[in-house]
Structure 1
């Protein structure tokens, strides 16, 4: 049998492939998901990233079968699942609330789904043991959930989902209840586990660090649509809009106008010249330029020959472990953040007058109407608004 002329058609029928075709979900007169189309490859770790209300959890719940689209189609492993109840879909879901049965042991919790499927006892015991071994919880098989830490309960919830050997594992903010150190440890473990198993993971999060550290691709969502779909490097270094630039990582935004020669943006207290002339802009157009804090260098003396430059006063210095963060006030309305590796950070103190510079390839320019504020972006703080990071 010959393969399709379109290789994507073959991928879409493989176990673990997920396809959403113009999927729309409404609640009354509110559109939660708006004609969303998405192809998730078999064995891929894909994150749906965005703020509350962007439609990411609704999208996940429609894949799981807990919600049903008003329009469009959802296919898993090449077959439409419209009308198929959640328990008959080849997926399992892990939630932020682990929903473990408190009266059952760890092993009994993991075995519950297999018992409902009437899996033979010998096979059940073998699969439960293998699942617990996979998440390093075999030694806790006889404990009750209340005797476990949050991270251990998370591992049990994963084992309970994985023991069913689903084609797709759906994870709805599963690390949100963990403290920072444990959350970072679980991020590494989840990625290692996914790579080991080769199962398709669809991960919902509002935490950019989680998405960047684990994902093969990230779908940044906004108002029920995908604003940008790409790998982590592209999302971070080449955001498609000011919305994505603001939501993923931090940015210094400068509003201004396109320079007469079209080479960059002139802002009241800074000039910003990207590595290449602007495309799609005319001289005098309102524009928004962005520079990430890690690309802002500071010095007490004015550097020579740099066209990307601004000057101001240091009004805050924060220690972030491996980085030092400087807050520089340019004027009453504008401040700029700079983050430098601690060993190489300049010896600057609050009150010092400094020059801020950045390389041309660090400058990104967006249309002025591309509202970053809708992503939760807050303009750089003034002196009266300084708070701890």
Structure 2
């Protein structure tokens, strides 16, 4: 059954372990996890540094949650090793690992007060009551909820319940805190507020955080590094700015931010792709594709500017204008029935209206070229090659 240990790796609560080497470090070495014939995690190797905020980012089924559950001890790998603070944890059950987990469902006890919920882990460990009271007060101060200590969870908002769940997980002072989409149930404004609070809390505590999410904004706003996962493997591991500006594949480019994808074939010089809207020059992300082979060019909407009148650029007609506060987003019909997106700072954006004829321009240095087979079928704003005989 999934999550069941093979006989040779059954947890032994009395087993001795090595002395920790680096508190908070996580090392995943060649880990594979299968469910029947399906491979959920495929020979994964990953190092998480002590005190780092690392996010596992990807769509459903990419292996991110399975990886987190194996670190926590709720699942066990079929191959490979996992070390926390220098110790292999393969033979350790969850309660003997230096980790705590916060889930999307906060799992607070409704019949207990906030303080009693937070103290639960200490009670299980038979910590003296005087120390319990002191540590509960400290934990609630961390999340600024000491004044709510005597309330029941049902008397709290979703954001407050999330902070109580964090407080309960941190009170045991784990070396590593694992977070499985803990903000997913919150509304947008509260989620954005909690992203900032969570990052500030992690920076203050210096605890290693491993955060699972499918939300790119969460990963970009909070992480020291992001591991973009695909089919049980890591497609790219890097700092948020590098992941955004220098995606290693069309898959990463499509998952982080929005893109205008244009399919075509590589020109003889290898420096541009011939497409339905003309040749697009750019820099290659990942391995180069041979001349004459399918490829895709990607230009982010914020790199596309619009101009009126005659001149260079891709001509089109404005389909729609969206005011997004500090930015103006414009959808432009180009090359027949394809749509190009432009997103410009509102104060400096040109005045455009529906049905205006405009030109789309961008700096070639802002375009990226990728192998065509790396783009997911769910990617948006894709412009295909013209049909035989023209569009």
Q: How high is the TM-score relative to the length of structure 2?
A: 0.90
Q: 2: distance between equivalents of 1:298 and 1:26?
A: 50
Q: 2: distance between equivalents of 1:286 and 1:310?
A: 21
CA contact (8 A) 1:90 1:167 kept: yes
1:19 is the counterpart of 2:19: no
Kindly tell me the number of residue pairs found equivalent between the two proteins.
365
Match of 1:87 among 83, 89, 95: 95
Give the aligned partner of residue 254 of structure 2. Answer: 246
Q: 1: distance between equivalents of 2:236 and 2:380?
A: 21
The alignment yields a C-alpha RMSD, in angstroms, of 1.8
Give the aligned partner of residue 181 of structure 1. Answer: 189
1:35 is the counterpart of 2:39: no
Give the aligned partner of residue 121 of structure 2. Answer: 113
C-alpha distance 361-303 of structure 1, shift in aligned 2 (>3 A): same
Give the aligned partner of residue 364 of structure 1. Answer: 368
Deviates more, 1:256-265 or 1:13-22: 256-265
Give the aligned partner of residue 338 of structure 1. Answer: 342
CA contact (8 A) 1:317 1:327 kept: yes
1:171 is the counterpart of 2:183: no
Deviates more, 1:105-114 or 1:283-292: 283-292
Within 5 Å, give how 1:261-300 maps onto structure 2. 261-274=269-282, 280-300=288-308
Match of 2:210 among 202, 214, 219: 202
Q: 1: distance between equivalents of 2:288 and 2:115?
A: 60
- Where 1:39 maps in the other structure, the secondary structure is strand
CA contact (8 A) 1:256 1:267 kept: yes
Give the aligned partner of residue 233 of structure 2. Answer: 225
Q: CA deviation at 1:321?
A: 1.3
Give the aligned partner of residue 146 of structure 2. Answer: 138
1:57 is the counterpart of 2:65: yes
Give the aligned partner of residue 319 of structure 2. Answer: 315
Structure 1 residues without counterparts, runs of 5 or longer: 1-11, 383-389
Give the aligned partner of residue 378 of structure 1. Answer: 380
Q: How high is the TM-score relative to the length of structure 1?
A: 0.91
- The CA deviation string for residues 206-233 of structure 1, in whole angstroms up to 9 with x for no partner, is 0000000000000000011110000001
CA contact (8 A) 1:264 1:277 kept: no
- The CA deviation string for residues 17-57 of structure 1, in whole angstroms up to 9 with x for no partner, is 00001111111111111111100000000000000111100
Match of 2:157 among 149, 163, 166: 149
